[in-house]
Amino acid sequence: MGVYKMTTFEQLLDTFIIEQKTWLVTGNAGFIGSNLTEFLLLHNQKVVGLDNFSTGFKHNIDDVLASVGEKSAKNFIFIEGDIADFKICQKACEDVDIVLHQAALGSVPRSIADPVTSNRSNITGFLNMLTAAKDSGVKRFVYASSSSVYGDSKELPKVEERTGNLLSPYATMKMANELYAGVFTKTYGIETIGLRYFNVFGRRQDPNGAYAAVIPKWVDSLLAKEDVFIYGDGETSRDFTYIDNVIQMNLLAGTTINTDAFGKAFNVAVGGRNTLNELYALINKELSARVQGFQKQEAKYQDFRIGDIRHSNADISKAQKMLGYEPTHTIYQGMEEAIDWYIADIKSTS
């Protein structure tokens, strides 16, 4: 039998036991931000949270603080404010070691419906945070980019160095973030790393609202016996990525000593691909196994949405090689964990 070799991430968590840093998590009342906050607090780190509750929820912060316990909760400071306000960004960056910038107005359809409001958060807010971090002497700035930057590229899997023509204002904003970050690394020396998220899902993901992510929205509709709509023919495919993989990548990016990673962007995914039809069948299967009396139902198909990428599948070899990334959850492992949370959350709010 071979000797077990710890992963880069496992080694990092060992250092957290004795080495405490201060992390700023913007958008920390949201889905990804609240999970990052919880994980860091559970692993002996200090966290400053910043959110304006435009898409996040106070109950997410309350849930995090309850789950980490009284001792760890004392390592958390919250600032309510908007990243479009530069003074708020300056305040948030004081005495911070690492920024995990998650705050944004997500959603391709939202950006098409109202590009100006999205731009205020995703461009002005991003530049405010980047500048405030630089001015405060923050060394490391990790930020959320998006797989939407691949645009109409037909290449599969998607490789970081090759993108296509952008298909939405949201994609344009995320690409602008990457360009700004790269320039700030070259010009000012701040260590930026972009994370191109591929269809993240998991606990604390909001099932409500016009721009809710597809998985919690479908679970919600199925449990309520409402119609479920699939845009297009259902053969559109995505690299569905569980939240634990995203947490790992943020922390690896926040602490890596590989200088070649600075000023670059990395795919955050599993490296798999599932169609919407496969996803819908999987959700029906999981609900059938867990909810008494649940009956599978057929989806209804609508026209393709403007700005949607047809296929999305990531090459994760760059993240594996440069950051030591090793995803722990496939869509199937992630769904087994997430589905119970979705069910409990929907029951608690219904």
Residue 209 domain flag:
no
Summarised one tens digit per residue, pLDDT across range 92-125 is 999 999 999 999 998 888 999 999 999 999 999 9
Of the given ranges (3-12, 173-182, 243-252, 320-329), which has the lowest mean pLDDT?
Answer: 3-12
Q: In angstroms, how far apart are the furthest CA atoms of the chain?
A: 61
* pLDDT classification of 315: cutoffs 50, 70, 90: very high
Long-range contacts of 274-278 (CB under 8 A, 24+ apart): 274/237, 274/238, 274/240, 274/331, 275/234, 275/235, 275/236, 275/237, 276/214, 276/230, 276/231, 276/232, 276/234, 276/235, 276/236, 276/237, 276/238, 277/230, 277/234, 277/235
| Gyration radius of the chain's alpha carbons | 20
Give 302's strand partners: 231
What integer pLDDT is reported at residue 344 of this predicted model?
A: 86
Burial class of 149 by CB neighbour count within 10 A (0 to 12, 13 to 18, 19+)? buried
Summarised one tens digit per residue, pLDDT across range 233-271 is 999 999 999 999 999 999 999 999 999 999 999 999 999
Average pLDDT, the chain: 94
Amino acid sitting at position 28: N
Residue 15 domain flag:
yes
Residue 147 domain flag:
yes
Q: Mean pLDDT throughout 286-306? A: 92
Q: Estimate to the nearest angstrom the gap between the alpha carbon of 334 and the chain centroid.
A: 14
- Say what the pTM is: 0.95
Residue of 170, 180, 280, 342 with catalytic role: 170
170 catalytic residue (yes or no): yes
What is the enclosing helix (H) or strand (E) of 141? Answer: strand 140-146
What integer pLDDT is reported at residue 206 of this predicted model?
A: 86
Task: State yes or no: pLDDT of 281 exceeds 80.
Answer: yes
Other Cβ atoms less than 10 A from the Cβ of 187: the count is 9
Residue 231 domain flag:
no
H-helix segments, the chain: 8-18, 31-42, 58-68, 70-73, 86-93, 108-113, 115-119, 126-135, 169-188, 214-223, 243-255, 276-290, 317-323, 331-349
Residue 129 domain flag:
yes
Q: Mean pLDDT throughout 142-164? A: 95
Q: Which residues contact 281 (CB under 8 A, 6 or more apart)?
A: none
- Enclosing domain of residue 96: 8-201+243-271+309-328
Summarised one tens digit per residue, pLDDT across range 25-74 is 999 999 999 999 999 999 999 999 999 999 999 999 999 999 999 999 99
What percent of the chain has pLDDT above 70? 97
Task: Say which residue the tokens 């309510």 belong to.
Answer: 80
The total number of structural domains that make up the chain: 1
- Considering only CA atoms, which of 215, 245, 211, 232 is closest in space to residue 329? 245
Task: Say which residue the tokens 């290449």 belong to.
Answer: 155
Residue 347 domain flag:
no
- CATH classification at residue 145: 3.40.50.720
Round to whole Å and give the CA distance between 83 and 87. Answer: 9
Q: Are 75 and 47 in contact (CB under 8 A)?
A: yes
- Considering only CA atoms, which of 209, 214, 192 is closest in space to residue 145? 192
Task: State yes or no: pLDDT of 212 exceeds 90.
Answer: no
Residue 254 domain flag:
yes
- Considering only CA atoms, which of 98, 47, 97 is closest in space to residue 72? 47
Residue 103 domain flag:
yes
Q: Are 331 and 238 in contact (CB under 8 A)?
A: no
